[in-house]
Amino acid sequence: MSQQRMRVQGRAEDGLGPNSDIGSRLRALYGAVQDEGVPEQLLDLLEKLDSAEQAQTTKHVQHGGE
Amino acid sequence: MEAEAPSFKREMLATLPSLRAFAVSLTGKHDKADDLVQDTVMKAWAKQSSFEMGTNIKAWLFTILRNEFYSQMRKRGREVQDSDGAFTERLSVHPSQYGSMDLQDFKKALSQLPDDQREAVILIGASGFSYEEAAEICDCAVGTMKSRVSRARTRLQDILKISGEADFGPDAVSTQVTTSNHSF
């Protein structure tokens, strides 16, 4: 039996499957937040972290590593 | 040469919406959730060498976020209990899916659960983790995770006075509207 199938079965037994009231309401709430998209400031942060890292890498390369 | 970092970034980006939803469910507030996700992103970035590409980045990030949340809570001695927990504000759920009253009741019911049961039922029921993954994220045994989920579900059903399987379901309400294509 595949792990995936066991997962789905487990979920259904626990009443959180596709036909469950609680499961679908949970997913409706969760999905509503997910669908809001990611705030600008978080995207900016990731960009900054990434470019800081690239700049550092470049510097290291220029100085022949550390 | 630039392949390594951007792909870590990309994987992180893909996980952010779900991570943020989990953060909202923990903090109950969008602004606090965003701060928490921001702290998590910085922590994760600093620790990225300890992450093995190709393994489960979602579970890894959820673990970091959850640890960060509880360590901040401990530091503040829970003085910040200004929320009832669990999606308390600013939620716009597509009206075609549920009546808004119905989901208000559901949010209230969720907020009445103990923290450990609420996070368990969310990780399993909404974030899409397996019991094994959720147990690892919460640093507990798989059996513990199962019993938390089961108690949470029973409690929610009691509060909401609903039965287990679809006496109410998307079908009953939405059969008439499914023809108009609603995204979410």
Residue A5 burial (C-beta neighbours within 10 Å; 0-12, 13-18, 19+): exposed
Of the pLDDT bands very low, low, confident and very high (cuts 50, 70, 90), residue B2 is very low
* Cα nearest neighbour of B28 on chain A: A33
**First-residue to last-residue Cα distance in chain B:** 39
Question: In chain A, what percentage of residues exceed pLDDT 90?
Answer: 38
Q: What is the DSSP string of B68-137?
A: HHHHHHHHTTTTT--S-SSS-S-----TTTS-HHHHHHHHHHHHTS-HHHHHHHHHHHTS---HHHHHHH
* Cα nearest neighbour of B145 on chain A: A14
Q: What confidence score (pLDDT) does residue B176 get?
A: 36
- Chain A residues with at least one Cβ partner in B under 8 Å: 3, 7, 10-11, 14-16, 19-39, 41-43, 45-46, 49-50, 53-54
Q: Are B165 and A7 within 8 A, CB to CB?
A: no
Model ipTM over 0.85: no
- Which residue among B37, B38, B165 places its CB closest to the CB of A20? B165
Is the pLDDT confidence value at B178 over 50? no
- CA B75 to chain centroid: 22
**Mean pLDDT computed over every residue of chain B:** 80
Give whole-number Cα distances, A9 to A1, A21, A29, A59, in Å.
Answer: 11, 17, 23, 53
What is the average per-residue pLDDT within B127-144?
97
Cβ–Cβ contacts within 10 Å for residue B114, how many? 13
Which residues of chain B neighbour A14 with C-beta distances below 8 Å? Answer: 124, 146, 149-150, 153
Of the pLDDT bands very low, low, confident and very high (cuts 50, 70, 90), residue B184 is very low
Positive/negative CA dihedral, A46, A52, A57, A58: positive
